[in-house]
């Protein structure tokens, strides 16, 4: 190496060292990042050792019962603490959030915006309550004693075993839910906004529980048909009066049936809005009753707005139906997935639409108008306008009201 090159090398080395010094200076001039961590000690008496060996640790609080201390330390010291012989574990003191009463699925369809936009002018109607507005839930029954469904259920209809087991009246215990499916669906519609648990889309709506599915979750076409007809009539036993169901929510499905379609037409002709789950078979079209033109067929989406493969195609609209938290028998809560969970979002939206219209002294919409409004105000997703995956899009409760 000649002298000139040697000199150049020296210069380069010096420059590198200089830049190292410069960057070191920059690091030191920025504030040291302090973190609060929990240190678990093997023996709580070793807290003295910790004080001695970690001079940069400042004690925040102690939980001697479980040999834990919360300390504030520079971030770069944390790894070294893990290696101390008397330390059992080191972990971040993570933030713990309270369970949110209004879950993502209710927010995704803008239901809370309906509550806050209209409660000043229309009171409880903004939450789905009106003296004459009732939502019939055709399912496995409802745990009407659930603390989050207090006052939500007012009337019970049972049709099981091909109609052989039949009841209609106010003894709600006859409609108890031995499965869980119906209670979950009911909570998505009407779980109370009361500061605990979850809240439904229409948290002041009143429900008719129509038990047409057994504890095993199965039923017969004749039972569903009877359930539709009795819900249409309501407690006075006469169709076309104020106590009729305004919305019939059906988180159930099966093959095409003339009897079922006739029952759907019966309700439709008495101005009852019918909503049904599109089905979970990954089929190219909805199962029945969602298959009938009088019915709003609801497919599922997850929290990212994707349609799961099992959600039947060509629905009217889609709504949240994956990992939905709702009420469960015995005062519990559970996560469930399916178009069964998507359907009640739309049923409750129909109740909000009608309750608000009555509160504003407007006539109720006909079932075909309700379907039209829900479809035309849905948020379009996927290919532009109607497409087989999303139908008309995600139901939007705020846009569908007025």
Catalytic residue IDs: 139, 181, 340
Instruction: Give the 3-state secondary structure of residue 212.
Output: coil
- Residue 85, both tokens: 């012989």
* Closest to Ca ion by CB, 180 or 234: 234
Min. distance of Cβ 360 from Ca ion in angstroms? Answer: 24
- Residue 391, both tokens: 């139908």
Integer Cα distance of 153 and 172 in angstroms: 8
* Closest to Ca ion by CB, 192 or 364: 192
* Closest to Ca ion by CB, 243 or 369: 243
Contact 390, 318 (CB under 8 A): yes
Min. distance of Cβ 238 from Ca ion in angstroms? Answer: 5
- Residue 276, both tokens: 């049904």
Q: Where on the chain is the footprint of Ca ion (CB under 5 A)?
A: 148, 192, 194, 197, 199, 233-234, 236, 238, 241, 243-244, 380, 382, 387, 390
Gap between the terminal Cα atoms of the chain: 87
Min. distance of Cβ 386 from Ca ion in angstroms? Answer: 6
* Closest to Ca ion by CB, 215 or 389: 389
Min. distance of Cβ 375 from Ca ion in angstroms? Answer: 11
Instruction: Give the 3-state secondary structure of residue 267.
Output: helix
Quick one: CA torsion of 147, 167, 181, 328, rounded to 10 degrees?
20
Distances (CA, A) of 112 to 54, 195, 300: 50, 14, 20
Min. distance of Cβ 280 from Ca ion in angstroms? Answer: 21
Instruction: Give the 3-state secondary structure of residue 364.
Output: coil
- Residue 245, both tokens: 């169901």
Min. distance of Cβ 164 from Ca ion in angstroms? Answer: 24
Contact 291, 305 (CB under 8 A): no
3-state secondary structure string, 91-139?
EECCCCCCCCCCCHHHHHCCHHHHHHHHHHHHHHHHHCCCCCCEEEEEE
């Amino acid at each position: 190496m000649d002298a000139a090159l040697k000199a150049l090398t020296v210069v380069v080395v010096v420059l590198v060292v200089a830049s190292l010094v410069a960057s070191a200076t920059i690091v030191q001039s920025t504030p040291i990042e302090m973190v609060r961590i929990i240190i678990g000690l093997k023996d709580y008496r070793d807290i003295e050792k910790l004080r001695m060996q970690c001079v940069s640790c400042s004690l925040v609080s102690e939980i001697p019962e479980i040999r834990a201390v919360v300390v504030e330390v520079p971030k770069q010291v944390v790894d070294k603490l893990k290696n101390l012989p008397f330390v059992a574990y080191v972990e971040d003191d993570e933030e713990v959030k309270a369970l949110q009463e209004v879950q993502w699925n209710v927010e995704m369809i803008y239901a809370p915006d309906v509550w806050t936009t209209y409660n000043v002018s229309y009171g409880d109607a903004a939450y789905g309550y009106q003296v004459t507005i009732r939502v019939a839930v055709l399912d496995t029954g409802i745990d009407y004693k659930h603390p989050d469904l207090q006052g939500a259920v007012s009337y019970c209809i049972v049709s099981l075993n091909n109609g052989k087991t039949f009841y209609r009246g106010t003894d709600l215990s006859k409609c108890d839910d031995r499965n869980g499916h119906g209670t979950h669906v009911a909570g998505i519609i009407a779980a109370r906004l009361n500061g605990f648990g979850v809240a439904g889309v229409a948290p002041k709506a009143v429900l008719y529980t129509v038990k047409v599915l057994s504890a095993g979750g199965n039923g017969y076409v004749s039972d569903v048909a009877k359930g539709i007809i009795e819900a249409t009539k309501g407690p006075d036993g006469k169709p076309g009066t104020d106590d009729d169901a305004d919305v019939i929510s059906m988180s159930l499905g099966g093959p095409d049936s003339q009897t079922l379609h006739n029952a759907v037409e019966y309700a439709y002709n008495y101005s009852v809005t019918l909503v049904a789950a599109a089905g979970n078979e990954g089929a190219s079209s909805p199962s029945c009753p969602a298959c009938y033109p009088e019915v709003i067929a609801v497919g599922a989406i997850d929290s990212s707005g994707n349609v799961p493969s099992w959600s039947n195609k060509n629905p009217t609209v889609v709504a949240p139906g994956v990992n939905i938290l709702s009420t469960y028998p015995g005062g519990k809560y559970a996560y469930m997935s399916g178009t069964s969970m998507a359907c009640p979002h739309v049923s409750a939206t129909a109740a909000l639409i009608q309750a608000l219209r009555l509160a504003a002294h407007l006539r109720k919409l006909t079932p075909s108008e309700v379907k039209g409004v829900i479809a035309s105000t849905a948020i379009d997703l996927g290919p532009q306008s109607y497409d087989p995956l999303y139908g008309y899009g995600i139901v939007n409760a705020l846009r569908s009201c007025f």
